[in-house]
C-alpha cells in the first residue's frame, strides 16, 4: 500500500511558547510536516498562499487579525486548507465552526487529541470543503495582495466593485485595490448589503444616493461617496428600484 503524503502544516499563534509546544507534539506524529509559522491571522493568509499548506493550526485571540476572521478568508480560497483551532477558550466553539473550522482543540492540547484532529483532515474531501464554504458566515474585511504583503479592507469602507478582465477592483474610502474574489462570490456572500446594477458592477446598497435617467432612458446611479455616474443595465433596473423602496 502506498504511504499517504505528509500533511503540510502551518502553525499560527502570537505566543512563541505555544508555537514551540505544537512543533514538539507534531514531531511525534507520523505524517505531520511543519512548513511554517505565523503570528497573526493576516500573516497566516499570506503564508497559506505562498506555501502548499494542508492544515492551519490556529489560535483565536491574536492581534492584527484574529483566527476567526482569518478562517473566513481561508475557507474561500480555491484550495482551502483545513483549519484546526487551538485555543484556551471554549466560548468560541460555535463561532469557530461557523467560520469553517474542521476541529477545535482546547489548550493545554494533548498529543493524542491533536493526532485525532489530523486524522480527520485526511478524511476531509472536496465536498466537505464546499459544505464548509456554504455555511461560513460573511467576512468583515476583504484582502488585497500588494506585492508580497496583504492589505485588509473593512467592508464598512467599501463603496462598489467593478469587474475588469480577470480581476475585480474594489473601490473604497482609501482608494481602489485589485482582489481575487469574483463578483458572483461577493454577491452571494454579502447578499444583504450588495446590489448588482450591471453585469460588471456591484454596489453597496447604503451607498446609493440617487437614481437618474437621461433623455434616452439610460439609467445611472450616484453614490454618497461622490462616485458616479455608474451605469445601471436594463436587466438590473427593476431590482434596483425594488431594493431602493426598502432602504
Answer whether residue 150 shows pLDDT above 80: no
Cell of 54: 494542508
**pLDDT score at 142:** 84
Cα torsion 195, 186, 130, 77 to 10°: value is: 180
Reported pTM: 0.65
What's CA 237's distance to the chain center, in Å?
A: 30
Answer whether residue 224 shows pLDDT above 70: yes
Cell of 108: 493545554
Cell of 196: 448588482
**pLDDT score at 29:** 94
Q: What percent of the chain has pLDDT over 90?
A: 51
**pLDDT score at 141:** 81
**pLDDT score at 129:** 57
Average pLDDT over residues 108-126: 87
Q: What is the pLDDT of residues 163-189, one digit of tens each?
A: 987 889 999 998 999 888 889 989 988
Q: What is the pLDDT of residues 52-94, one digit of tens each?
A: 899 999 999 999 999 999 998 898 887 889 999 999 888 877 7
Does residue 204 contact residue 194 with C-beta atoms inside 8 Å? yes
Query: 243: buried, middle or exposed (CB in 10 Å: 19+, 13-18, 0-12)?
Result: middle
Answer whether residue 1 shows pLDDT above 50: no
Domains of the chain: 7-135 (3.40.50.2300), 141-245 (2.40.50.1020)
Q: Please list the residues that pair with 222 across neighbouring strands.
A: 210
The strands making up 7-12's β-sheet, listed across from edge to edge, are 32-38, 7-12, 55-58, 82-87, 103-106
Amino acid at each position: 500500500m502506498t504511504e499517504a503524503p505528509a500533511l503540510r502544516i502551518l502553525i499560527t499563534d502570537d505566543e512563541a511558547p505555544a508555537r514551540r509546544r505544537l512543533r514538539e507534539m507534531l514531531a511525534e506524529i507520523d505524517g505531520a510536516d511543519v512548513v511554517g509559522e505565523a503570528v497573526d491571522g493576516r500573516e497566516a493568509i499570506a503564508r497559506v498562499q505562498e506555501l502548499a499548506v494542508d492544515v492551519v493550526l490556529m489560535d483565536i485571540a491574536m492581534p492584527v487579525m484574529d483566527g476567526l476572521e482569518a478562517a473566513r478568508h481561508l475557507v474561500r480560497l480555491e484550495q482551502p486548507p483545513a483549519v484546526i483551532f487551538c485555543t484556551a477558550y471554549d466560548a468560541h466553539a460555535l463561532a469557530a465552526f461557523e467560520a469553517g473550522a474542521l476541529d477545535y482543540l482546547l489548550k493545554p492540547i494533548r498529543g493524542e487529541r491533536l493526532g485525532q484532529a489530523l486524522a480527520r483532515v485526511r478524511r476531509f474531501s472536496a465536498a466537505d470543503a464546499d459544505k464548509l464554504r456554504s455555511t461560513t458566515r460573511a467576512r468583515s474585511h476583504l484582502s488585497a495582495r500588494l506585492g508580497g504583503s496583504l492589505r485588509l479592507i473593512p467592508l464598512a469602507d467599501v463603496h462598489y466593485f467593478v469587474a475588469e478582465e480577470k480581476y475585480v477592483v474594489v473601490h473604497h474610502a482609501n482608494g481602489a485595490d485589485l482582489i481575487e474574489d469574483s463578483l458572483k462570490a461577493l454577491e452571494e456572500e454579502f447578499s444583504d448589503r450588495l446590489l448588482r446594477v450591471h453585469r460588471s458592477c456591484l454596489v453597496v446598497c447604503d451607498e446609493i444616493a440617487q437614481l437618474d435617467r437621461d433623455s434616452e432612458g439610460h439609467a445611472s446611479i450616484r453614490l454618497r461617496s461622490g462616485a458616479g455616474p455608474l451605469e445601471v443595465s436594463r436587466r438590473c433596473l427593476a431590482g434596483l428600484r425594488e431594493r431602493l423602496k426598502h432602504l
